[in-house]
Amino acid sequence: MPIDCLGCRIARGLEPGVQIVYENEWLACVLDIAPFNEGHLLILPKVHVLDVEEMELSTAHAIMEASRMLSVALKRAFRPDGITICQNGGRFNDLGHYHMHLIPRYEGDGFAWSDPLHSHGAEQRLERTREVLRGVLREPN
């Protein structure tokens, strides 16, 4: 565990004021300190990884199981209209440690998935994009 990694410290309960809702040997689920809505959770692995492809399958499985369980808990506790589950990777990961958001959502809450700032025409290349990805998937690792 890199001691300078805030995500590692949060996942291991070493940061003051961290509100751990659930944890097991692979992960910790904590309340976001700047919640979009009440109950906004972060799921963090206890081992240091930045992106999803870096983690062991056991950790990835544990994260998905926790997201299922916690989605049910959020729905029972807060009666949202839905749940948004998202994760930002690479340079968009502002924590420098993998974390998945579970956000209770309500109609009109202002959360938005925005359109791209610049037209890229990707919608015109769906067949080509599919073939590019299928080709990469066929390549040996």
What are the b/e assignments for 95-104, b being 16+ CB within 10 Å? eebbbbbbbb
Mean pLDDT of 4-14: 92
Altogether, the residues listed in the chain come to a count of: 141
Q: What mean pLDDT comes out for the span 51-59?
A: 95
Residue-level pLDDT at 92 = 92
What is the pLDDT averaged over residues 36-47?
96
Q: For the segment 107-130, what is each residue's pLDDT rounded down to a tens digit? A: 999 988 877 788 888 888 889 889
Q: Return d(Cα 9, Cα 18) in angstroms, integer.
A: 10
**Residue 89 pLDDT class (50, 70, 90 cuts):** very high
Among residues 132, 97, 96, 106, which one has the least CA distance to residue 40? 106
At residue 8, the pLDDT reads 94
The predicted structure's pLDDT at residue 46 = 96
Q: Give the pLDDT band (50/70/90) at residue 42.
A: very high
Q: What is the pLDDT of residue 2?
A: 65
Q: What's the pLDDT at 123?
A: 85
**11-15, 24-28, 100-104, 110-114: least confident range:** 110-114
Q: How far apart are the first and last CA of the chain?
A: 27
Residue 1's pLDDT band (boundaries 50, 70, 90)?
A: low
Written as one string, the DSSP assignment of the chain is --TT-HHHHHHTT-STT--EEEE-SSEEEEE-SS-SSTT-EEEEESS--SSGGGS-HHHHHHHHHHHHHHHHHHHHHH--SEEEEE---GGG-TTSS--EEEEEE-TTS---PPPPSS---GGGGHHHHHHHHHHHHHS--
Distance CA 101, CA 79 (A): 18
